[in-house]
């Protein structure tokens, strides 16, 4: 009798337990919406992607969405005097895809310069890029700033064929060297960099701001061959 009861218990557990871990329908919808290729263009020229609305969602919204490991700092590339205010997530979940996420905040130059001067700490990253950790008061203020651009480096490999399958045909292809090509989607506010020697990079801005991404590439595309 005890053996029968034990067997029945195992059968019931095998049937019931998986059902307890099935996500709610609304969670599945959100999971699907946060996939990198699900971009919603809004009437005002902004867009929604990765759970955030460009030029509206703040760094605080990103922190609520992606957890406490969002690292906010000013990042200054070699040769630059004034850096950019960024939020970095080392392992972000975009639906079922993971990757590195970088969110660039919109802030005027004068305010950014003040934050940079008051930085609590400065350190070199892997290269000669400088990371400036914000002072506590500036960090609190930074959380209210809107997200102006998003960069996502997926952990999966994407070639041009895979990008086209997910995002559709690109409006333009611009090769910057023998292994990197930009696939431009102005209507989506998207620039996908396909790299045969490295990982892909997805760069999002509001479609109305796409000229900011495209202008440097136009200079490359029209430059005379050396």
133: Cβ contacts below 8 Å, ≥ 6 apart: 73, 119, 120, 121, 122, 123
- Predicted local confidence at residue 148, as pLDDT: 97
- Cα(78)–Cα(149) distance, rounded to whole angstroms? 21
- Predicted local confidence at residue 9, as pLDDT: 59
pLDDT digits (tens, 9 = 90+) for 69-112: 899 999 999 989 999 999 999 999 988 899 999 999 999 999 99
Q: What is the DSSP letter of 58?
A: B
Q: What is the pTM of this model?
A: 0.83
- If pLDDT is split at 50, 70 and 90, which confidence band does 51 have? very high
pLDDT digits (tens, 9 = 90+) for 178-213: 999 999 999 999 999 999 988 999 999 999 999 988
What average pLDDT does range 57-79 have in this prediction?
A: 94
Q: Where are the alpha helices (DSSP H) in 58-210?
A: 59-66, 109-117, 136-142, 160-167
Q: Which has the closest alpha carbon to 170: 43, 37, 44, 55? A: 37
Q: How many C-beta atoms surround the C-beta of residue 45 within 10 A?
A: 14
What average pLDDT does range 41-48 have in this prediction?
A: 97
Q: Which has the closest alpha carbon to 69: 87, 96, 54, 86? A: 87
- Predicted local confidence at residue 224, as pLDDT: 46
């Amino acid at each position: 009798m005890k053996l029968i009861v034990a067997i029945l218990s195992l059968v019931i557990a095998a049937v019931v337990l998986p059902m307890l871990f099935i996500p709610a329908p609304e969670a599945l919808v959100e999971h699907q919406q946060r996939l990198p290729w699900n971009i919603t263009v809004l009437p005002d020229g902004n867009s929604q992607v990765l759970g955030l609305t460009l030029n509206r969602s703040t760094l605080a919204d990103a922190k609520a969405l992606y957890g406490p490991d969002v690292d906010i700092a000013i990042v200054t590339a070699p040769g630059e005097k004034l850096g950019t205010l960024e939020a970095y997530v080392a392992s972000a979940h975009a639906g079922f895809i993971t990757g590195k996420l970088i969110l660039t905040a919109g802030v005027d130059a004068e305010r950014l310069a003040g934050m940079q001067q008051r930085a609590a700490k400065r350190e070199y990253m892997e290269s000669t890029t400088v990371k400036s950790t914000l002072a506590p008061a500036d960090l609190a203020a930074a959380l209210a700033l809107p997200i102006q651009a998003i960069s996502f480096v997926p952990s999966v490999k994407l070639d041009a064929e895979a990008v086209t399958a997910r995002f559709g045909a690109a409006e333009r292809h611009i090769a910057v060297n023998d292994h990197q090509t930009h696939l431009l989607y102005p209507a989506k506010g998207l620039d996908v960099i396909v790299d045969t020697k490295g990982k892909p990079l997805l760069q999002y801005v509001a479609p109305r701001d796409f000229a900011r991404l495209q202008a440097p590439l136009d200079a490359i595309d029209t430059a005379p061959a050396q």
